[in-house]
Amino acid sequence: MAERNVDTVLIEGLAVETVVGVYDWEREVTQRLLVDLEMAWDIRIPGASDDVADALDYAAVSERVSQCLQAMKPQLIERAAEELAAMLQSEFGVSWLRLALHKPGAVPAARSVGVRIERGVRS
């Protein structure tokens, strides 16, 4: 039986300023979204080589997530989560991910609202 890879690369609290929301006023301002990512990645190779070329480049992932959200300007965070997950799997070869997208201040009585999704298969 093959060994199961349970290694995870984390990016937590990535702040992105973008247009997001369904109300007219929301389409005219930027708001902060916070992104938390867990991505399955076998860290044994970069752990042994100590070479960034063998690792999942979290700086590149963070930059791409920011670019994607800023270009998308979603009405719903549900759409943003789905598109981010698909992009990460396609462009970075991530087989499994858990993504949380938070919209702080969207509901005055709550610190944040958001969605959390999992996509792919953890090998």
Which residues are the active-site residues? 103
Exposure string over 92-101, b if 16+ CB within 10 A, otherwise e:
bebebbbbbb
Nearest 5°: the CA angle 119, 75, 80 is 20
Q: What is the enclosing helix (H) or strand (E) of 53? A: none
- What is the rounded distance in angstroms from the CA atom of residue 11 to the CA atom of residue 39? 9
Tell me, what DSSP letter sits at residue 22? S
Give Cα 107 to chain centroid, integer Å. Answer: 22
